[in-house]
A and B are shown apart, each in its own frame.
Chain A
């Protein structure tokens, strides 16, 4: 099967979208951009490929809407089993890497003991792994580093104590290994891991044997051929992509928004470090755009600073601001001043939720100025980027759009964070199509 990949290398997260020949999204993947776009790109693509397999399973089952509870339960079990396989594979990688680190002067006397201890630590980690991926088990993160790290530290302490070894030695090899392992996404064949996961699900019973196994195997046999790839976003220049595989994020966001809502004429994207106002035509082609210049005032990162300053999680800001009945009037969107503004107001006794609501309003005011410079808002209006997930920002946006432009349909897609990657995938599909037609891509 031909697939087309769009990758959006944002300043905060990297997103990938896998699309089929009929412009249908097969899979989506997201990961932290870290400081390593190369890895972020591979991880996001792989996540999208995994997600795509599940889309194919559903297709085989003829249950694309997700309305068959039995199938959904089975697929959820399969996903857990698959994640477990991935986890075990990375655990093996971590073990091998740790063992390689047992060299040098400090280990000359104790190398044998440390290796034995490592074997014991990893035996226990493997043993307890299935429970972490059991139905209903909650993991605090889906990133390997977070899950494996906290358990390693706990188990290694016990093992070191029992073996009379310095705990610090086990910490040392772990610290030296984890970044390398993290930057090396699971390399095993996905099909094989799916098969092992399937066996695991079947062996654990549920009476779902033959009838469900066959469609899954059929779906696994479908080869996903990466026909064309397009990269976009801030990290695009650092990737080993040739020019024809790169599109500007402005074009990708414009096209992605058009794919999600074909009647879109104006797009607002608020990302980590920039805000863009984009006008598109009936075909999703960019007519005009404006973005912030040399200053990230009023971008996603601004909210990040506020969250740090208030010692809150980024996702907690919106809900708290929603509780405000009387937003504070804040005009400055300067990220650097935000902290001072916040502390001053707190000291003056203003309520946290009112200040937060005021800050949300301030960033939307800045966005409104950028939109108006790009040509204003035309119906329909699509809001994308990480900030579109923030309900308080959305509330302020709706208010200001209504005040300034009257009745306008405002679209916010739950997958809006993938807008740029979606546009990229569609560019990839078109480029491949043009190539087949002999038109210069």
Chain B
């Protein structure tokens, strides 16, 4: 975009461009969803990890993502009541709070963020990528909606690599089961060239996303790759991968990042531009959404910026080179599903996080362990110790929850974070003195 205003104003304009675009995209998306029935559009529900948006679009289906709905409820402070509603219906305290927020929202009329009722899905596309809860979640939805359910199984990356067999297995499922069923539900014939078109667009936006995420290798980092990163992954992890909207959004964002890089500026926070960068962290685990701003503030107030995170890879690990490939349209969908973070084995996660600490010159690893997320949390202490050992950098552990406000204790989290920052500081000055001596 053209900048014609003075530098001070231009930053404002630039900051707004991507955010306004995203807001507009989200609003449009929810309107499409809530108008699906009157407009005679069919709806597919699916999950962020393994989200086959390009394929879904080939059948003119509107993509509904229950996880994103739960996040919206969390940010809008509605999830607490939804979670309790689900508990009333018999779901235990330990169940994933995304699930409970969704179930509770359905029980209370399934009203979306735009204040209108979300549609009933016509098909549940479960592309299974490592989180067992997803399977149970869709079993509940199937019972509720009694609609077609498609199960695409992604083999777990236990040995840390993708083999031709794995891809074959998935391609077979896609060709023989997933695509025919989607054709049947939607009444639209599958057109592989249409898929190629979308995939081409995906790859273009993916390039920009990777550029943006990797800009955090700079000092100071122009972005926060966790709190800011959550906004940045929104379109590409959601219903926009493969669209012109996504291409445009990431182009705006890239320009903004370039602008900040050139000016040597740090991330923009809800309270304005961040002060001096004092700590660079790698974060493992999802964030807390019910107290998102308060949580973020505990970081930026102390000058802590997140330079890399695993959570921004749950919908795809593009930074390791994967791009959707229009020349191998079905295989590329399989590869995409195989690569998402939730499908990665513990050793792969350790390796990835250790590399992040080194490549992004981070001060250490912070684990945000989610009370109700077994998929992410299992093995996190081990991951922490191992990354610590490999990088020689201090690590720390905090505990919150996704969208259950009862599991966010601000004083406790702040206490641990401050201790961690001071620990990093202490280690640094210890090293400084050793060097001086």
Whole-angstrom distance between the alpha carbons of A250 and B418 in the complex? 10
Whole-angstrom distance between the alpha carbons of A373 and B416 in the complex? 15
Q: Which of A283, A285, A289, A293 contacts B399 (CB 8 A)?
A: A293
In the complex, which residues of chain A have a beta carbon less than 8 angstroms from the beta carbon of B427?
A: 285
Q: How far is the CB of B423 from chain A (nearest CB, A)?
A: 5
Tell whether A52 is near chain B: CB-to-CB under 8 Å: no
Q: Which of B385, B397, B407, B415 contacts A248 (CB 8 A)?
A: B415
Chain A 263-298 interface 0/1 with B at a Cβ cutoff of 8 Å (1 = within): 000000000000000000001011111110110000
Tell whether A251 is near chain B: CB-to-CB under 8 Å: yes
Q: How far is the CB of A228 from chain B (nearest CB, A)?
A: 16
Given known pairs A283-B430, A285-B430, the reply for A294 and B409 (CB within 8 Å) is yes
Tell whether A439 is near chain B: CB-to-CB under 8 Å: yes
Tell whether A375 is near chain B: CB-to-CB under 8 Å: yes
Contact between A288 and B422 (Cβ–Cβ < 8 Å)? no
Contact between B426 and A293 (Cβ–Cβ < 8 Å)? no
Contact between A293 and B430 (Cβ–Cβ < 8 Å)? no
Contact between A439 and B429 (Cβ–Cβ < 8 Å)? yes
Whole-angstrom distance between the alpha carbons of A247 and B396 in the complex? 17
Contact between A251 and B426 (Cβ–Cβ < 8 Å)? yes
Whole-angstrom distance between the alpha carbons of A291 and B416 in the complex? 8
Q: Which of B397, B407, B429 contacts A294 (CB 8 A)?
A: B407
In the complex, which residues of chain A have a beta carbon less than 8 angstroms from the beta carbon of B396?
A: 288-289
Q: Which of A283, A286, A290, A293 contacts B423 (CB 8 A)?
A: A286
In the complex, which residues of chain B have a beta carbon less than 8 angstroms from the beta carbon of A287?
A: 394
A375 closest partner in B (C-beta): B385
Q: Which among B411, B426, B429, B432 has the highest number of chain A CB atoms within 10 Å?
A: B426
Chain A 53-69 interface 0/1 with B at a Cβ cutoff of 8 Å (1 = within): 00000000000000000
In the complex, which residues of chain B have a beta carbon less than 8 angstroms from the beta carbon of A250?
A: 415-416, 419, 423
Whole-angstrom distance between the alpha carbons of A390 and B422 in the complex? 31
A281 closest partner in B (C-beta): B430
Tell whether B395 is near chain A: CB-to-CB under 8 Å: yes
Q: Chain A binding site: helix, strand, loop or mixed by DSSP? A: mixed
Chain B 385-423 interface 0/1 with A at a Cβ cutoff of 8 Å (1 = within): 100100000111101000000010101100110110011
Contact between A288 and B395 (Cβ–Cβ < 8 Å)? yes
In the complex, which residues of chain A have a beta carbon less than 8 angstroms from the beta carbon of B378?
A: none
In the complex, which residues of chain B have a beta carbon less than 8 angstroms from the beta carbon of A373?
A: 381, 397
Residues of A199-244 whose CB lies within 8 A of B = 234
Contact between B430 and A289 (Cβ–Cβ < 8 Å)? no
Contact between B394 and A248 (Cβ–Cβ < 8 Å)? no
Given known pairs A248-B418, A250-B419, the reply for A286 and B395 (CB within 8 Å) is no
In the complex, which residues of chain A have a beta carbon less than 8 angstroms from the beta carbon of B422?
A: 247-248, 251
In the complex, which residues of chain A have a beta carbon less than 8 angstroms from the beta carbon of B394?
A: 287-288
Whole-angstrom distance between the alpha carbons of A200 and B248 in the complex? 87
Given known pairs A251-B426, A283-B430, A439-B429, the reply for A289 and B419 (CB within 8 Å) is yes
Whole-angstrom distance between the alpha carbons of A290 and B380 in the complex? 13
Q: How far is the CB of B329 from chain A (nearest CB, A)?
A: 46
Q: Which among A234, A248, A283 has the highest number of chain B CB atoms within 10 Å?
A: A248
In the complex, which residues of chain A have a beta carbon less than 8 angstroms from the beta carbon of B381?
A: 373
B427 closest partner in A (C-beta): A285
Contact between B397 and A290 (Cβ–Cβ < 8 Å)? yes
Whole-angstrom distance between the alpha carbons of A251 and B409 in the complex? 21
Contact between B423 and A251 (Cβ–Cβ < 8 Å)? yes
Contact between B412 and A293 (Cβ–Cβ < 8 Å)? yes
Whole-angstrom distance between the alpha carbons of A289 and B381 in the complex? 12
Contact between A251 and B419 (Cβ–Cβ < 8 Å)? yes
In the complex, which residues of chain A have a beta carbon less than 8 angstroms from the beta carbon of B407?
A: 294
In the complex, which residues of chain B have a beta carbon less than 8 angstroms from the beta carbon of A289?
A: 396, 416, 419, 423
In the complex, which residues of chain B have a beta carbon less than 8 angstroms from the beta carbon of A249?
A: 415, 419
B395 closest partner in A (C-beta): A288
Q: Which of A248, A375, A439 contacts B419 (CB 8 A)?
A: A248
Q: How far is the CB of A89 from chain B (nearest CB, A)?
A: 37
In the complex, which residues of chain B have a beta carbon less than 8 angstroms from the beta carbon of A283?
A: 430
In the complex, which residues of chain B have a beta carbon less than 8 angstroms from the beta carbon of A293?
A: 399, 409, 412
Residues of A135-156 whose CB lies within 8 A of B = none
B432 closest partner in A (C-beta): A439
B436 closest partner in A (C-beta): A439
Apart from the given pairs A251-B422, A294-B399, 6 other A-B contacts in the complex at a CB distance below 8 Å: A248-B419, A249-B419, A251-B423, A286-B426, A290-B397, A375-B385
B residues neighboring A (CB under 8 Å): 381, 385, 388, 394-397, 399, 407, 409, 411-412, 415-416, 418-419, 422-423, 426-427, 429-430, 432
A residues neighboring B (CB under 8 Å): 234, 247-251, 283, 285-291, 293-294, 373, 375, 434, 439
The 10 A-B pairs with the shortest beta carbon distances in the complex, nearest first, are A248-B419, A294-B409, A250-B419, A293-B399, A248-B418, A286-B423, A248-B422, A251-B422, A285-B426, A294-B412
Could you give 25 example pairs across A and B, Cβ below 8 Å? Answer: A248-B415, A248-B419, A249-B419, A250-B419, A250-B423, A251-B422, A251-B423, A251-B426, A283-B430, A285-B426, A285-B430, A286-B419, A286-B423, A287-B394, A288-B394, A288-B395, A289-B419, A289-B423, A291-B412, A291-B416, A294-B407, A373-B381, A373-B397, A375-B385, A439-B432
